[in-house]
C-alpha cells in the first residue's frame, strides 16, 4: 500500500497559487459572475422541470443534459465502444457531480442521500435507504433493478479526493451484483486551475465554482468488466480498486472515507483554534524586537514562525537553536529582496556558505561507523549554532561571553 499521508489527499486551496494563474482568475472574475447568473437562471428552470416531468429514462436524459449545461460540465468518453451492459458501474470519486457525468454516459442511476438539491433536480439519483441497513438496502436495489431494468452507479470511496490515491472501497456496492464495470474518472479545468473540491468545502461552495468556471471536463475511461467468482465482497472490491488505480497510475491507501472525514474535522478545528489564538495574541514590542533580530540572522525563516516560538521561549538563542535543530517546521522564504528591517543585514547566504564549508570538510573525511557519523553530525550542528550565535552577538555589540 501507499505511504502517502492523509493530508495529501485533499487540496487545501481553491484558487490557483501561481501569480500568472491568479491574475488570469482576477481578469476572468467579471465574466465568470455573468456566466454564473445565466446558469443560475437555467438551473431555476431545471428545478421546475424536475417537478413537472415524469420519472422516465427519456425525461432523465433531458434533465441530465440541462443539468450539465447549467453546471458547465462536458463529458468526454475515451473508449465508448468498451462500455458493457452490466448492472453496476464503479469509479473513483473526485467531485459531487461524478454521478452526473457517469450517468450521462451510461444511463445509470446513483444511490443518494437525497439532499434537497438532488431531490429537486432529480440528478440521476435514487434513494434506496440507508446503506448501514444492509438487508433493506439490498432488497430495495434488487426491486429497483427488476422493475426499472436500469444499471446502478457507485463511487465506493465514499469521499471525493484530489485524485492522488484511492481510499479503501466500501463493500456494499459489490453485494448487489456479481459483474461490474470499472470506470476511471479524471477532471480538467484547463483555463482556470480551480479545485473542484477542497478541505472543508461545502456542497454549495463546490456548486458555485462549477457554475462560475467556463468549463469542467470529465474524462471517462471504461475498463474491462470484472466478474466475481469465488471471492468475497472485500476481495472483489480490492481487485476492482487495483484495476482503477493501475489505469489511473495512482496509489492505493489503507485510509477509509471515515478516516479522511475525521482528519478533515480535526484539521479544521485546529486551524480555527490557531486563528483564534493568533487573533487574541497581543503584539509584544519586546518579542517583536527579538523576532527582527532572529530574522536578521536567519532571513529564510518566516517571521510568524519566529514570533510564535519567541512567545514561548522568550530567548533569542533558544529560538535560533530550535530553528537550526529542526524543531520548527516551515517553508523557507526567498531572501533575495530584504525588507525594511533587513536593509543593513549581512548576506543571507552566510549560513549556507558556512554549512557548505562544513559539508565539504566532512565529505573529505566521512566516518565509516554509525557512532562516528552520529558524533560528527552532532559536532557540526553545535558548530553551526555557535557560529550563528557569534555573528548575532558581534552584529549587535552585545556584552555576552562568546
Judge whether 276 lies within some domain.
no
Domain match, 144 and 225 both: yes
Domain match, 243 and 336 both: no
Confidence tier at 106 by pLDDT (50, 70, 90): very high
Domain match, 192 and 305 both: no
Domain match, 153 and 290 both: no
What domain range includes position 255?
Answer: 6-265
Q: What pLDDT sits at residue 337?
A: 43
Q: What pLDDT sits at residue 396?
A: 65
Domain match, 151 and 52 both: yes
Domain boundary residue, one of 230, 265, 300: 265
Judge whether 272 lies within some domain.
no
Q: What pLDDT sits at residue 287?
A: 86
Contacts of 127 (CB under 8 A, 6+ apart): 111, 112, 113, 114
Mean pLDDT confidence for 140-152: 83
Confidence tier at 173 by pLDDT (50, 70, 90): confident
Judge whether 273 lies within some domain.
no
Domain boundary residue, one of 265, 297, 330: 265
Mean pLDDT confidence for 365-394: 63
Confidence tier at 249 by pLDDT (50, 70, 90): very high
Domain match, 107 and 206 both: yes
Mean pLDDT confidence for 298-313: 88
Looking at every residue in the chain, the average pLDDT score rounds to 82
Three cell numbers written together for 253 = 491507501
Burial class (CB in 10 A: 0-12, 13-18, 19+), 368: exposed
32-36, 61-65, 394-398: range with lowest mean pLDDT? 394-398
Three-class DSSP labels, the chain: CCCCCHHHHCCCCCCCCCHHHHHHHHHHHHHHHHHHHHHHHHHHHHHHHHHHCCCCHHHHHHHHHHHHHHHCEEEEECCHHHCCCCCEEEECCCCCCHHHHHHHHHCCEEECCCCHHHHHHCCCEECCCCCCCHHHHHHHHHHHHHHHCCCEEECCCCCCCCCCEECCCCHHHHCCCCEEEEEEEEEECCCCCCCCCCCCCCHHHHHHHHHHCCCEEEEEEECCCEECCCCCHHHHHHHHHHHHHHHHCCEECCCCHHHHHHHHHHHHHHHHHHHHHHHHCCCCHHHHHHHHHHHHHCCCCCHHHHHHHHHHHCCHHHHHHHHHCCCCCCCCCCCCCCCHHHCCCCCCCHHHHHHHHHHHHHHHCCCCCHHHHHHHHHHHHHHHHHHHHHHHHHHCCCCCCC
Per the structure, the count of domains in the chain is 2
Domain CATH code at residue 391? 1.10.8.10
pLDDT > 50? residue 298: yes
What's the start-to-end Cα distance of the chain, in Å?
A: 52
Judge whether 287 lies within some domain.
yes
Do the strands 73-77 and 165-166 form a parallel or antiparallel pair, or are they unpaired? unpaired
pTM: predicted TM-score of the whole model, two decimal places? 0.68
Pairwise pLDDT comparison (222 vs 312), residue with the higher score: 222
Taking the C-alpha atoms of 193, 196, 200 and 203 in order, what is their torsion angle to the nearest 10 degrees?
A: 140
Domain match, 227 and 302 both: no
68-82, 125-139, 144-158, 378-392: range with lowest mean pLDDT? 378-392
Domain match, 198 and 312 both: no
Confidence tier at 115 by pLDDT (50, 70, 90): low
Q: How far is 118 from 140, CA to CA, in rounded Å? A: 19
Judge whether 248 lies within some domain.
yes
pLDDT > 70? residue 326: yes
Per-residue pLDDT of 346-363, as tens digits, reads: 444 433 444 444 344 444
Is the four-CA dihedral 282, 287, 288, 289 of positive or negative sign? Answer: positive
pLDDT > 70? residue 137: yes
Q: What pLDDT sits at residue 363?
A: 42
Domain match, 115 and 246 both: yes
Q: What pLDDT sits at residue 352?
A: 41
pLDDT > 90? residue 392: no
Annotate 45-78 with b (16+ C-beta within 10 A) or e (fewer).
Answer: ebeeebeeeeeeeeebeebbebbbebbbbebebe
Q: What pLDDT sits at residue 217?
A: 96
Q: What pLDDT sits at residue 16?
A: 80
Q: How far is 209 from 287, CA to CA, in rounded Å? A: 42
Domain boundary residue, one of 265, 289, 322: 265
Q: What percent of the chain has pLDDT over 90?
A: 40
Judge whether 401 lies within some domain.
no
Judge whether 400 lies within some domain.
no
Confidence tier at 342 by pLDDT (50, 70, 90): very low
CA distances from 334 to 266, 298, 348 (A): 31, 12, 10
Domain match, 220 and 257 both: yes
Pairwise pLDDT comparison (254 vs 378), residue with the higher score: 254
Confidence tier at 402 by pLDDT (50, 70, 90): low
pLDDT > 80? residue 193: yes
Q: How far is 327 from 108, CA to CA, in rounded Å? A: 53
Burial class (CB in 10 A: 0-12, 13-18, 19+), 141: buried
58-67, 110-119, 258-267, 385-394: range with lowest mean pLDDT? 110-119
Domain match, 229 and 305 both: no
Mean pLDDT confidence for 306-317: 87
Half-sphere exposure of 185 (CA within 13 A, CB side): 32
Per-residue pLDDT of 74-102, as tens digits, reads: 999 999 999 998 999 999 999 999 999 99
Q: What pLDDT sits at residue 259?
A: 95
Confidence tier at 378 by pLDDT (50, 70, 90): low
pLDDT > 90? residue 140: no
Judge whether 274 lies within some domain.
no
Q: How far is 197 from 8, CA to CA, in rounded Å? A: 13
Domain match, 292 and 153 both: no
Q: How far is 167 from 132, CA to CA, in rounded Å? A: 19
Q: What pLDDT sits at residue 77?
A: 95
Amino acid at each position: 500500500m501507499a505511504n502517502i499521508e492523509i493530508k495529501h489527499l485533499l487540496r487545501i486551496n481553491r484558487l490557483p497559487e501561481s501569480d500568472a494563474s491568479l491574475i488570469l482568475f482576477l481578469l476572468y472574475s467579471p465574466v465568470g459572475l455573468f456566466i454564473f447568473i445565466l446558469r443560475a437562471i437555467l438551473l431555476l428552470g431545471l428545478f421546475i422541470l424536475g417537478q413537472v416531468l415524469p420519472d422516465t429514462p427519456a425525461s432523465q436524459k433531458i434533465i441530465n443534459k440541462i443539468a450539465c449545461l447549467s453546471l458547465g460540465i462536458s463529458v468526454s468518453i475515451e473508449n465508448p465502444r468498451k462500455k458493457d451492459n452490466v448492472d453496476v458501474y464503479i469509479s473513483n470519486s473526485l467531485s459531487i457531480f461524478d454521478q452526473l457525468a457517469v450517468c450521462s454516459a451510461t444511463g445509470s442511476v446513483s444511490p443518494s442521500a437525497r439532499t434537497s438539491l438532488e431531490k429537486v433536480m432529480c440528478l440521476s439519483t435514487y434513494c434506496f435507504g440507508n446503506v448501514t441497513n444492509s438487508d433493506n438496502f439490498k432488497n430495495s436495489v434488487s426491486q429497483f433493478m427488476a422493475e426499472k431494468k436500469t444499471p446502478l452507479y457507485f463511487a465506493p470511496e465514499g469521499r471525493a479526493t484530489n485524485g492522488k490515491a484511492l481510499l479503501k472501497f466500501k463493500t456494499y456496492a459489490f453485494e448487489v451484483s456479481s459483474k461490474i464495470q470499472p470506470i476511471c474518472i479524471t477532471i480538467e479545468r484547463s483555463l482556470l486551475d480551480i479545485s473542484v473540491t477542497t478541505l472543508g468545502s461545502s456542497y454549495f461552495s463546490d456548486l458555485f465554482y462549477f457554475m462560475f468556471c467556463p468549463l469542467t471536463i470529465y474524462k471517462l475511461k471504461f475498463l474491462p468488466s470484472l466478474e466475481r467468482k469465488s471471492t468475497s465482497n472485500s476481495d472483489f472490491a480490492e481487485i476492482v480498486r487495483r484495476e482503477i488505480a493501475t489505469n489511473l497510475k495512482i496509489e492505493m491507501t489503507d485510509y477509509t472515507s471515515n478516516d479522511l472525514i475525521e482528519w478533515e474535522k480535526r484539521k479544521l478545528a485546529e486551524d480555527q483554534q490557531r486563528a483564534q489564538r493568533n487573533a487574541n495574541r497581543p503584539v509584544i514590542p519586546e518579542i517583536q524586537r527579538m523576532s527582527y533580530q532572529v530574522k536578521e540572522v536567519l532571513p529564510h525563516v518566516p517571521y510568524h514562525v519566529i514570533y510564535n516560538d519567541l512567545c514561548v521561549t522568550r530567548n533569542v538563542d533558544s529560538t535560533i537553536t530550535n530553528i537550526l535543530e529542526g524543531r520548527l517546521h516551515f517553508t523557507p522564504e526567498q531572501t533575495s529582496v530584504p525588507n525594511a528591517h533587513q536593509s543593513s543585514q549581512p548576506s543571507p547566504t552566510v549560513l549556507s556558505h558556512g554549512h557548505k564549508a562544513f559539508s565539504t570538510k566532512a565529505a573529505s573525511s566521512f566516518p565509516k561507523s554509525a557512532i562516528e557519523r552520529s558524533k560528527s553530525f552532532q559536532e557540526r550542528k553545535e558548530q553551526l549554532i555557535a557560529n550563528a550565535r557569534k555573528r548575532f552577538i558581534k552584529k549587535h555589540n552585545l556584552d555576552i561571553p562568546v
